[in-house]
Amino acid sequence: MRAETRHQLKQDAFSRVTLGAAEKTAHWSVEHRNTLAVAGAAVVVIVAVVLGGWYYLSAQDEQASFDLSQAVRTLDTPLRPAGTPAQPDVPSFTSAKERSEAAKKQFQAITDKYPHTRTADMARYFLGVTSATAGDNAAAENNFKAVASTGNKELASVAKLALAALYGNSNRTKDAVALYQELINKPTASVSKVTAQLQLAELYQTSNQPLDAKRIYEQIKKDNPSTEAGQLATQKLAELK
């Protein structure tokens, strides 16, 4: 089998695992935001990472990537109803917290064992996700900041989006607004201008700043006619009346 074919098969296998997990984990950061936009952004960045050759499959990074796929599988493991005994050879957890903690240990192990790999940056992003799920906002903030400072602008922008949502949910509105504005001014393939605008408008709306929210929704509607984003902006404007 040609080396190029083996390389592509490895990337395809990894992408199938990570895409499914990302769709299920991305929603945490937008509990009070527009879920579709941010979930889509997380999926897009993983596609860009995998198909763009972001993973240099050296022996070490290949193993790190495999470990990452196992960790995101943990996040996708089913929960069993309370009082239901565990089934042999069938992984399950009793709660989302228990599942998140198990995955967190796996992600931490990747960052500890492969600190200089690109995969470790992705693992650190998920460490932020699991920390936020556990209510550890300080750890989530530190991890998202670390990823946001990496040289990969696509992953960095997703980390900034998650960090902004974390700030918004922690009543740090000023910090959240600053990050959203940065993303609006410097959009990427993974976090578009309209994605950041929708999140900022929703933040204003939930923070009792309807005039600011209305201003942004009107701009979205103007710039994105006949699109899903434009339709969503129209719906939100109706809610503000």
Whole-structure pTM value = 0.75
Pick from 103, 118, 109, 42: nearest CA to 73:
103
pLDDT tens-digit profile, the chain (241 residues): 444 444 444 444 334 433 333 433 333 333 434 333 343 444 444 444 443 444 444 566 778 888 888 888 888 888 888 777 777 777 888 888 888 899 999 999 999 998 888 888 889 999 998 888 888 999 999 999 999 998 888 888 889 999 999 999 899 999 999 999 999 999 988 888 999 999 999 999 999 999 999 999 999 999 998 888 889 889 999 988 7
Q: Which domains does the chain have, with CATH numbers?
A: 3-80+91-240 (1.25.40)
How far are the Cα atoms of 2, 59, 190 from residue 5, in angstroms, in the given order? 5, 17, 26
